[in-house]
């Protein structure tokens, strides 16, 4: 039985790097899709709102693990081989879009109606009011929960190990399979996750406190 060494530590750090890569790709793509979901949720057209609401309920009702399997194995029916990174990023993007879309929809709808009315008095269209007046205010309000959700995304990347993507958790599993020291290995994995997530949690709480002070 080998002992834990710098080789295993470097392998874990490589897993940290891939965790960050997957988190950033998923969150970036999910943000773009989530913005579209938010726009659809506040649309004046009821069918669009209903369809988007059904999409959100379906995605939020399906465990991410199942969504990963659907994306990774589902496209295989059409003879398409998907790399684990691509499948993981797509599944996480879909997952993130549903949650961020709802977070941002709530922020937009939390803006007082007088802001809409003032925009109309200035002769702005609904789209112009949304882009120039409402969204800039909603953005400030939505930043704390959005950053807080990024923490969840980082932790959710651990599920990508089930489709063979070697991120932090999978790297820990591989090392443990060779060393048979689960306590040591997964304590280190937990520490790395803590180091990644805790500063973001502090940042989210700091922004939330600043926002609350500004609203008093």
Pull the structure tokens for residue 156.
Answer: 């959710």
Residues of the chain with pLDDT under 50: 213-214, 216
Q: With beta carbons less than 8 A apart as the criterion, state whether 119 and 129 touch.
A: yes
| Domain contains 7 | no
| Domain contains 8 | no
| Domain contains 116 | yes
CATH (domain of 138): 1.10.3720.10
Predicted local distance difference test score (pLDDT) of residue 2: 66
- Domain limits for position 24: 17-170+181-215
| Domain contains 3 | no
- Look at the chain and report how many structural domains it folds into: 1
Q: With beta carbons less than 8 A apart as the criterion, state whether 52 and 40 touch.
A: yes
| Domain contains 6 | no
| Domain contains 101 | yes
Q: What is the DSSP letter of 23?
A: H
The string of pLDDT tens digits covering residues 96-140 is: 999 999 999 999 988 888 888 788 787 788 788 888 888 888 888
Predicted local distance difference test score (pLDDT) of residue 6: 84
Taking the mean position of all CA atoms in its chain, how far away is CA 125? 32
| Domain contains 110 | yes
Could you tell me the CA-to-CA distances from 209 to 29, 204, 214 in Å, in that order?
Answer: 28, 9, 9
pTM of this structure: 0.89
Cα gap 35→199, rounded to integer Å? 25
| Domain contains 36 | yes
């Amino acid at each position: 039985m080998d002992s834990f060494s710098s080789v295993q530590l470097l392998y874990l750090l490589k897993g940290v790097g891939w965790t960050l890569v997957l988190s950033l790709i998923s969150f970036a793509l999910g943000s773009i899709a989530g913005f579209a979901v938010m726009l659809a949720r506040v649309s004046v057209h009821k069918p669009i709102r209903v369809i988007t609401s059904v999409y959100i309920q379906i995605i939020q009702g399906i465990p991410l693990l199942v969504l990963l399997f659907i994306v990774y194995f589902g496209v295989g029916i059409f003879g398409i081989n998907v790399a684990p990174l691509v499948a993981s990023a797509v599944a996480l993007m879909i997952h993130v879009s549903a949650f961020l879309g709802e977070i941002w929809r709530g922020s937009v709808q939390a803006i007082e109606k007088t802001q809409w009315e003032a925009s109309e008095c200035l002769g702005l269209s609904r789209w112009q009011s949304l882009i120039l007046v409402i969204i800039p205010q909603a953005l400030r309000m939505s930043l704390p929960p959005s950053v807080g959700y990024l923490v969840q995304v980082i932790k959710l990347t651990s599920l990508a190990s089930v489709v063979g993507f070697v991120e932090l958790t999978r790297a820990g599993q591989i090392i443990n399979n060779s060393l048979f020291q689960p306590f040591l290995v997964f304590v280190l994995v937990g520490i790395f996750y803590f180091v990644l997530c805790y500063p973001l949690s502090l940042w989210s709480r700091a922004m939330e406190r600043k926002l609350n002070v500004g609203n008093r």
